[in-house]
Structure formats: structure tokens, C-alpha cells
Chains A and B, each alone.
Chain A
């Protein structure tokens, strides 16, 4: 197990439908919390990595702005982008900067103010998230792609709309415990199943909400981590993989191959397997994405993921608690901030600081963060 790079500070803004402030102020909310959590000052930071999906930013090249506003001049800063997985890609890059010996403390700041642009502009940009030559001209959208994966999974394995609804009900239960979540109401099975269709078989509550939010993760070398932190959380394993943007380039739609490959790498690097994971955060932008994650991460065999949710095994008391902070479905999904928020949750869990959401004494946690419909996948394994 690798103990070369640790997480020494975590922070997250509340996630909002509509944040009433600028992107710099939004970023500061997570940064302030993380810097205080680490017990350092901006002068201790060697470099910053700024993660957002730039199509939502009016500010051109926001990294420069953020470095100034966060008090991180004259240290180097730059942007990292893999849409919804940007901030875990930022962590991968930060890890490598520290391992290479270039810096000993790196800030990974993720943010997205999706309300920065009008809803119509946002929809127009989302339409261009697919291959603009060959798929966008048909009127594609994110829910449609995940819906096609859901239909393929149903068809191959006999999973159902009700199984997906059970995942949303779990998310809604834990969203009520998370004071940083956008959606904090409980949901009943009937409500979820009778909601209007968005892209069949996905309905309203199968989809997460757009949100404004920020996250901040502070990484340190082993030496610095031991000086700074009483409770460092170690990056044990990292995995990253990609898959074709176009659906025509995929073998099958009943799982995400990039996630399979990324998890295999992360398990190998960490020297652990799926059965060793005590708590997990998976990228549930849609309910079907969580079901596929159970299988792609090896928590269940292919086609058997439904048994985990039907039997309550991914609840807090279950065999493998998943998204017990409400997940993207309840927290909301501020693109560039999402991965960092997932990492923060696991760090708090491993430190025993997750409050009402705390899993009993976890030692190893996992983060699964997906960009687009599995175009990009990052898996990170963390340990105490």
C-alpha cells in the first residue's frame, strides 16, 4: 500500500440551486474550510489545480483569478478538466506533482456555478456534450445516454425501474442528514415510480439536479503530512481510464468499461479488493449509474447489483455502504466540484467525523467519479 501522498485538508461549500455570489466567492467557501481543516496558511501551498467545466464559466481561464483570490500568488496554478470528474483528475495530477517532488503541498479546488449562464444557454451547451458531428444533431442529452444504458442493463439482466427507484429512495434518506445537500426531502416508492418521464426508462427522480458548489482537497507529501496533520488520510490507490465518446464505439451499454478498468488499477495499486472497502462514494448522476457502479467496481458480479439494493446492503448498516451522504442525487451535481465533494465525504468517514452519516469504524474507502457517460473514469482508494 502506498503511503506517499496524504489528504490533510478537506472543504466543501453547501450545494445550491442558485448561489448568490460570484465564482471566486463560491470557491472561497470550500477553500476556507479546507485550509482551516489542514491548519495551514495559503503561503504553505506549493501549487493549485483549478477544476471546472469551462463552458459554464464566463471568466476566461479562471485559474488565474482563483489563485489571486485565494491568496495563492505567486505559486503556479493551472486548470484540469474532465467534465464531471475534473476534480478527481485534479487529485491524480496533484498526486503526481508531489510524488515527482515538485511540490509538497497542493490544493485541488473544484467549482461550478451552473447558474452563471441562463438555463437555455446551459441546455445548449449540454447538447454539445456529445459528439457534435455525429450525435448532437439528433438531439442528445445526458439523461438519454444513461437511459440507453439503463434499457440495455434491464434487457440483459432483468433489472427494473423499481430497482432504480430503490436507489433514489436510499439517496433521499441520506440527503436529509446532509446539511450541504440541495435535495433534503424523503421520497416514497410511488412518488419515484409515478414521476414524469425524462428519457425512458428514466424519470424525474432518477436524475440528479444541477447545482452551484465548490470543493477543496489539500494534498501533502508523507513528510509534510506527518508535520501538519493528526489524522492524515492516505491515497492508497488511483485508477483512471477512458472510453469512446460516441456510443458506436462501445462494446455494450450495460456497464461502463472505463470504470471497470479504473477500479482494477486502483485495487492493484492499493493491494486490496472490493471486499476490503468499508465505505464508498459512487457517481450517481442517475440512478442507473449507481447500479452499474456496484458491478463495475466489483461490489457485485455483473447483473447482481440489484441484489445489493434490494437487500439494503448499500445502506449505512449494510455490507458495503454507498453514498450515505445522499450522493449526487441528493447533494446536487456542480460538475467541477463533485469529485472533491465525494473525496471529502470519504475522508470524513475515515476520520470518524461524518456525524449522523458515520459508518462504524471504516478503514478503507473508495471514490468512483465519472466524466460524461463514462468517457472518463477515476477511482481513488483511501485509507487511514
Chain B
């Protein structure tokens, strides 16, 4: 339990990487790293499929990332209708990619592929937690 706190709408409560929300609460974006092969995972995984091994450790996704792509969404799926428009984006943090929403404050015209962003915790209504990408 615990993972149901993640996201605007949560679809699942149980996962071995539920501690992700505890890190979010502290303002940290966490991934995992396999101690055997050194691969870093974001989103975090409880298991390294490469080794295969299940003794991963938490790491922080820090610094700035570059926008790989983005889209301004005008029709939301069920549960997100009131959020539109919002921007979904993919950013590359030195080889570790992060998918999420871009800050609402950013105008679409100012948003460019390649721009630098950082990830910050988003405290949502109803005690839900997420992260969003904001321009540096």
C-alpha cells in the first residue's frame, strides 16, 4: 500500500517500489540502480531484468534534463477531463529518461524540444503526490 497516493488518478496501490511516494514527499525524484550491473532505472523497478536480480537500491534523479518531446493535450481520458489542457513530456536526464507533465505555467509557444527542465514534487488535491517538469 501507499502507491495509491501517486498521480492525479492512481490505478494501482501495490508495488514493491511504493517507497517512491515517500521520496516524492521529501521533494526527491527517485529511481533504482542494480548493484550488480550498475544499470539505472526510471521509473524505478524492483527487479533488474538484465542480471536478473532483485536487490536494487534507490538513487536520486538529480540535476537538469533536456526535453525530448512534448504534446499539449486537449482531450483528457476519464478522470482527467477537468485538467485539460495539459502538457505531457519526455525529458532526458543524462541518459535516464523521465515521463511526466510540464508545468502548467509554461506557454506552449515557449516550450521547445531541447530546453532544460528539472523535476519537482507536485502536491495535488486530495493528498495525492506527483512530480512535474519545470523549466530551469
CB atoms of A152 and B72 under 8 A apart: no
Decide if B68 touches A196 in the complex (CB within 8 Å): no
A24 at interface by CB-CB < 8 Å: no
Instruction: Enumerate chain B residues within 8 angstroms of A199, measured Cβ to Cβ.
Output: 71-75, 88
Contacts of B72 in A (CB 8 A): 197, 199-200
User: Of A123, A147, A196, which contacts B71 at CB under 8 A?
Assistant: A147
Which of A127-135, A326-334, A347-355, A361-369 interfaces with chain B? A127-135
> How many angstroms between the C-alpha atoms of A139 and B74 in the bound complex?
11
- Chain A proximity of B56: nearest CB distance (Å): 16
CA A248 to CA B76, docked complex, whole Å: 21
A248 and B99: CB pair below 8 A? yes
Mask, A147-159, CB within 8 Å of B = 1, is 1110110010000
A189 in the interface (beta carbon within 8 A): no
In the complex, whether A198 has a CB less than 8 A from a CB of chain B is yes
Q: Is the CB of A139 within 8 A of B71?
A: no
A138 and B98 within 8 A (CB): no
| Chain B minimum-CB-distance residue to A131 | B43
Chain A residues whose CB sits within 8 angstroms of the CB of B75 once the complex forms: 141, 143, 198-199
Mark A189-205 against chain B: 1 for CB-CB distance below 8 A, else 0: 00000001111111000
Q: Is the CB of A139 within 8 A of B73?
A: yes
Note all chain B residues with C-beta closer than 8 A to A128.
11
Q: Which residues 184-227 of A have a CB within 8 angstroms of B?
A: 196-202
Question: Looking at the complex, which one of B3, B9, B42, B43 makes contact with A139 (CB distance below 8 Å)?
Answer: B9
Q: Quick check: B7 and A137 within 8 Å, CB to CB? A: yes
Number of B interface residues at 8 Å Cβ cutoff, please give it: 39
Question: With A123-B78, A139-B83, A248-B98 in contact, do A132 and B11 touch (Cβ < 8 Å)?
Answer: yes
A144 at the interface (CB under 8 A from B): yes
User: Nearest CB to that of B15 among chain A residues?
Assistant: A133
Contacts of B96 on A, CB cut-off 8 Å?
A: 248
Q: Is the CB of B73 within 8 A of A144?
A: yes
Chain A window 103-146, contacts with chain B (Cβ cutoff 8 Å), 1 for yes, 0 for no: 00000000000000000100110111001111111111101100
**Chain B residues near A96 (CB, 8 Å)?**
none
Q: Would you give the shortest CB distance from A381 to chain B, in whole angstroms?
A: 31
A139 adjacent to B77 (CB under 8 Å): yes
Whether B77 contacts A247 by the Cβ 8 Å rule is: no
Report chain A residues within 8 Å CB of B74: 196-200
**Which of B10, B42, B69, B108 is A248 in contact with, Cβ under 8 Å?**
B42
Residue A272 CB within 8 A of the other chain: no
Q: Is the CB of A135 within 8 A of B76?
A: no
* Cβ of A75 under 8 Å from chain B: no
B68, A138: Cβ atoms closer than 8 Å? no
Residues of A within 8 A of B15 (CB): 133
Could you say which of B12, B43, B73 has the most chain A C-beta atoms within 10 Å of its C-beta? B73
Whether B126 is near chain A, meaning CB under 8 Å from some CB there, is: no
Closest 7 pairs between A and B when the two form their complex, measured CB to CB? A137-B7, A127-B77, A139-B80, A147-B71, A124-B78, A132-B11, A248-B97
Name B residues whose Cβ lies closer than 8 Å to a Cβ of A.
3, 6-12, 15, 42-43, 68-80, 83, 86, 88-90, 96-101, 108, 113-114, 130
